């Protein structure tokens, strides 16, 4: 006659557990990944426009661009982008104790962006 009492806090298939530990971190990660991809696209657009302006200025003799300096600047920008992406992924992974749903959301949002 005693019916078992279900404790939703410990039940891994309850909606409360799934939304708090899987759903919300996934959505947070997806939002951050989507934003990161859009910002990367904007940064590449602005960087490309700046390079075109530099190349046109060089063509008309206004400035002189060294290929080694150009490659060094591109390498520095690439390193900064890698560090930024790594920081975001590390932070999103810390949203839950496991970090899997936040990281999966980040990659899904990055893919969608």
Neighbours of 110 (CB within 10 A): 21
Q: If pLDDT is split at 50, 70 and 90, which confidence band does 7 have?
A: low
The predicted model gives 84-103 an average pLDDT of 77
Domain boundaries, the chain: 33-61+75-113
Question: 6 versus 56: which is more confidently predicted?
Answer: 56
* Tokens representing residue 12 in the block: 């891994």
pLDDT by residue (tens digit) across 9-62? 555 545 555 555 567 788 888 888 899 899 989 989 999 999 999 999 999 999
Q: How far apart are CA 13 and CA 61, in angstroms?
A: 68
Q: Give exposure, 8-29, as e/b (b: 16+ Cβ within 10 Å).
A: eeeeeeeeeeeeebbebbbbbb
State residue 97's pLDDT score. Answer: 61
pLDDT by residue (tens digit) across 56-92? 999 999 999 888 988 998 899 888 888 877 888 888 8
DSSP characters for the chain?
-PPPPP-TTT-TTSHHHHIIIIIHHHHHHHHHHHHHHHHHHHHHHHHHHHHHHHHHHHHTTS----HHHHHHHHHHHHHHHHHHHHHHHHHHHTSSSS-HHHHHHHHHHHHH-
């Amino acid at each position: 006659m005693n019916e078992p009492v279900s404790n939703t806090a410990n039940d891994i298939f309850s909606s409360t557990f799934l939304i708090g530990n899987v759903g919300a971190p996934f959505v947070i990660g997806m939002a951050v990944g989507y934003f990161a991809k859009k910002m990367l696209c904007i940064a590449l657009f602005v960087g490309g426009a700046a390079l075109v302006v530099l190349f046109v200025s060089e063509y008309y003799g206004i400035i002189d661009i060294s290929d080694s300096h150009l490659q060094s600047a591109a390498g520095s920008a690439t390193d900064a982008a890698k560090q930024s992406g790594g920081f975001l992924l590390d932070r999103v992974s810390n949203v839950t104790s496991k970090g899997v749903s936040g990281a999966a959301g980040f990659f899904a949002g990055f893919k969608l962006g």
